[in-house]
Amino acid sequence: MGAGKDSIDTTTERASERMNFRTKPHIKKAIQRAAALRGLDDSVFTMNAAYASALETIEAHDRTRLAPLDHAVFFEALDEVPAPTAALRAAFDSYQKRVTAK
């Protein structure tokens, strides 16, 4: 990887936004060392790492993964919907009166 090459950006979008932050000296030294080992500029290395972490966080938030047993229980609950309770019917009636009365 060449210095300054952005390994994550595959688009032709121009980098126009700025992000500034402060960090502790030992964190900066570790980032600089890792960037040098990869042959990248500090800023590019930091942005690549932050971007990869952001995408991973977004994916984890957007996707629910269930263990096989939990998957079976979840879909069984969807297939076998219990009858509404008296409290649920009362809540629904109350909602209908308030909403349709307007």
Tell me: the pLDDT tens digits for 24-53? Answer: 999 999 999 999 999 999 999 999 999 999
| Domain around 92 | 25-100
d(CA 33, CA 27): 10
Q: Is residue 96 part of a domain?
A: yes
Q: Is residue 3 part of a domain?
A: no
Q: Is residue 2 part of a domain?
A: no
Q: Is residue 33 part of a domain?
A: yes
Tell me: the pLDDT tens digits for 38-94? Answer: 999 999 999 999 999 999 999 988 988 889 999 999 999 999 988 999 999 999 999
The domain tally of the chain equals 1
Written as one letter, the residue type at 74 is: F
Q: Is residue 8 part of a domain?
A: no
Q: Is residue 77 part of a domain?
A: yes
Q: Is residue 74 part of a domain?
A: yes
User: What is the rounded radius of gyration, in angstroms, for the C-alpha atoms of the chain?
Assistant: 26
